[in-house]
A and B are shown apart, each in its own frame.
Chain A
Amino acid sequence: MASPQMTGSEIVLKALCDQGVDVIFGYPGGAVLPIYDALHEQNALRHILVRHEQAAVHAAEGYARSTGKVGVVLVTSGPGATNAVTGLTDALMDSVPVVCLTGQVPTHLIGNDAFQEADTTGITRPCTKHNYLVKSADGLARVIHEAFYVARSGRPGPVVVDLPKDVLQAKSDSYVGPEDIKHQSYRPQVKADSHAIAAAVQMIAKAKRPLIYSGGGVINSGDKASVLLSRFARALGVPVTSTLMGLGAMPASDPLFLGMLGMHGTYEANLAMYNCDVMINVGARFDDRVTGRLDEFSPRSQKIHIDIDPSSINKNVVVDLPIIGDVTSVLDDLVKAWKRSGAKLNQKALKAWWAEIEEWRGRDCLKFANSKSIIKPQYAIQRLYELTKDRDAYITTEVGQHQMWAAQFYKFEKPRHWMTSGGLGTMGYGLPAAAGVQVAHPEALVIDIAGEASILMNIQELSTVAQYGLPVKVFIINNQWMGMVRQWQELLHGGRYSQSYTASLPDFVKLADAFGALGLRASKPGELDDKIMEMIESPRAVVFDCVVDQTENCFPMIPSGAAHYEMLLGPEDKAAKPVSEEGMVLV
């Protein structure tokens, strides 16, 4: 039997409701007015009005990453869609499930250079997991359901559904629910091949210097994956390091956890990676920030790579044993197979391996020279962590030095509490993402650890935060420089600080006031704790201007093109050799 006549807009909203959506981040415009009209007539879906479409996508990312659900974005045609492109690319790089509905000019005007027309499916094809242009209201419900299925299945990612205005206004009686939709061909492999699991057990059983290298795939797989990961690591007594995206999967307080690895990772994590003999990669993708110089990356290890995306296998690093599947399912199988096999690690070798690791740990690579007169950025984040650790805080960041310090000094005990732009490195991500997290968790403490340069890239979102009374805390590590740019210029470009100093910064306290938020400033270490407490206790949105040492650099650091053992531990650590020409061209 045919369902009742509905307009395209009504079909869109019903499909969203049937997908369990409760909130949309969006910005209206001519082409999507019919949807906004339909939104006006209902109460099931909450709409959060952002101030820029890029922010709508980041907010949806924050919502998605902190809940595990699909984030939903609604923007208009033309500039609405092109503004969303940065957010979509960000979501693609970090595998965040997002469905982005874009308005489009009516079908008969497509190709005519109509007002606010852009080739949205053309523009977003390389920056989405998949996209659709809907030509008729009859197929609309199916497309929306398919979009959600594609966004959340396999390796998650952003999906764009482009909706011409006439399709939104047309009537159709063809509504179908999500239960009636099965995608023609897209079925990612979830369950791993049992031979691969058996081979992994054998390989791990022979390890003398094993290491687990966990990534964002563990978080994306669901909370059970994190539980299984720590259970597996503890059962074997194997050290665990994590990528930037994977922080929180293994509790940072666990003695098995070595901290983050890679360019600004810990000494112990990077040396363990260089020296291990069996590496178990769980949901990570051998990103260049992690591997450093490829031909010197973990050169003597046998490599097991668990990934749901077959194209991640052997892309950057050739592995010995690929295991295609969802992390939860694979780890579940692996834990069971390990128990069944009765395999035991060589305890003597493991003890010797741990002795080596403890020696590296003893270098205390994150130590820094603190000061009584000026706030060190590391100290600021350390204090922020100490004063918020019992409050189940959600942390987002912008991009740069403050992001790396946050990853180093904020200790995450649980998954889904850390939202950062890893792959794309999008300045301006943190504030809208924090808004999205706060919408999903209204009672939670949500903090955007920001830099004064990044925060200005989406500062307009303070207005969104104000409109919905979101008590987001923006903690600005203010050194007046684009810190990471300045650091590279200092270390790699002879101290020629080209365009990295921001003159004429706003007074962030006054700026907070203008947006109806509470502005706080700390410039002396002595006042830091009290001010942070004032921020936490305030029921309002807060902009915290934390004035820090302008010259501090982020260490440890593996210079570009260098190997893990060539790490610089601090400013006194002169690079053993100048960065190679190949290294200079790397980002």
Chain B
Amino acid sequence: MVPKDQTIERRTMAVLVDNEPGVLARVIGLFSGRGYNIESLTVSEVDPDRRLSRITVITSGTPQIIEQIKAQLERLVPVHRVSDLTREGPSVERELVLVKVNGRGNKRVESLRIADIFRARVVDSSHQHFVFEMTGSSEKLDVFIDMMRPLGLVDVSRTGVVAIARGPKGL
């Protein structure tokens, strides 16, 4: 038998599904029921006329498991198409974060300065706090959040990753 490749790979997959009740539960149930990992998952309707939603899921596993995940997703009746963005050529991945920082004095000034460096926007503020909005790669978000931690970070909300293939072709 061909020896199995045991290296763990991380993959971003785009899944186009019918926007019908329970479709997200179906996808999540597949992952939990078969013991696959979900590192990030986002979903939203992308085509109201055809009632299609797009799920972006980041998962990891051996090459054999990754192949299984793709095949199992494609097997679900409301799934139209599954694209392994990591594998099928270059892609863009972005995530959005909202960060609430509660600080005064120097810390407040410092948070604003760092936000400026990261091109984060202030979307809410008072004398005691800022809410910053920032988009970027997950790694960049991680760094930004880490830097805000000593400056009075009180709340973080992240969207999870959305991704799209580079180039002119659609999913």
Contacts and interface: CB of A to CB of B under 8 A. Distances in A.
Interface of A: 121-122, 125-126, 129-131, 133, 150, 183-186, 294-295, 297-299, 309-311, 313-315, 317-318, 320
Given A185-B77, A318-B2, 17 more contacts: A121-B22, A122-B22, A125-B26, A129-B77, A130-B78, A183-B77, A184-B80, A185-B80, A186-B77, A294-B1, A295-B1, A311-B71, A311-B74, A314-B64, A314-B67, A314-B68, A318-B64
B1 A318 contact: yes
A126 B72 CA distance: 12
6 contacts: A125-B22, A130-B77, A185-B18, A297-B1, A311-B71, A311-B75
- Which of A130, A309, A311 is most buried by chain B, counting CB atoms within 10 A of its CB? A311
B4 interface: yes
Contacts of A295: 1
Contacts of B22: 121-122, 125, 131, 133
Interface residues of B, number: 22
A315 B64 CA distance: 7
B116 to A, nearest CB: 46
A295 to B, nearest CB: 6
A309 B74 CA distance: 10
Nearest to A315: B68
A557 to B, nearest CB: 23
Nearest to B21: A133
- Report, nearest first, the 7 A-B pairs whose CB atoms are least far apart: A311-B71, A130-B77, A185-B80, A318-B2, A310-B71, A311-B72, A186-B77
B1 A122 contact: no
B33 interface: yes
B80 A299 contact: no
Query: Chain A at the B interface: mostly helix, strand, loop or mixed?
Result: loop
A186 B79 CA distance: 8
B25 interface: yes
B75 A309 contact: yes
Interface in B77-135: 77-80
A184 B18 contact: yes
B29 interface: yes
Nearest to A150: B77
Nearest to A317: B1
Contacts of B76: 130
Interface in B1-53: 1-2, 4, 18, 21-22, 25-26, 29, 33
A131 B20 CA distance: 11
- Which of B1, B25, B67, B78 is most buried by chain A, counting CB atoms within 10 A of its CB? B1
A310 B68 CA distance: 9
Contact of B1 (A126, A298, A311, A315): A298
Nearest to B20: A132
Contact of B75 (A294, A310, A318): A310
Contacts of A313: 67, 71
A310 B74 contact: yes
A219 to B, nearest CB: 20
B29 A125 contact: yes
B2 to A, nearest CB: 5
A122 B68 contact: no
A185 B67 CA distance: 21
Nearest to A301: B1
- Which of A295, A313, A315 is most buried by chain B, counting CB atoms within 10 A of its CB? A315
Contacts of B74: 310-311
A129 B78 CA distance: 11
Nearest to A155: B75
Contacts of A185: 18, 77-80
Contacts of B78: 130, 185
B25 to A, nearest CB: 6
Contacts of A318: 1-2, 4, 64
Given A297-B1, A317-B1, A318-B1, A122 B25 contact: yes
A294 B3 CA distance: 11
A184 B64 CA distance: 29
A185 B77 CA distance: 7
Nearest to A153: B77
A516 to B, nearest CB: 43
A566 to B, nearest CB: 17
A170 to B, nearest CB: 19
A193 to B, nearest CB: 16
Contacts of A126: 29, 33
A320 B1 CA distance: 10
Contacts of B33: 126
Contacts of A186: 77
B71 A299 contact: no
Contacts of A320: 2
Nearest to A121: B22
B1 A299 contact: yes
A126 B75 CA distance: 13
A311 B29 contact: no
Nearest to A184: B18
Contacts of A298: 1
Contacts of A314: 64, 67-68
A206 to B, nearest CB: 18
Nearest to B67: A314
Contacts of B26: 125
Contacts of B67: 313-314
A133 to B, nearest CB: 7
Contacts of B68: 311, 314-315
Nearest to A303: B1
Contacts of B2: 318, 320
A297 B75 CA distance: 27
A126 B29 CA distance: 7
Contacts of A297: 1
A125 B24 CA distance: 11
Nearest to B16: A185
Nearest to B50: A184
Contacts of B29: 125-126
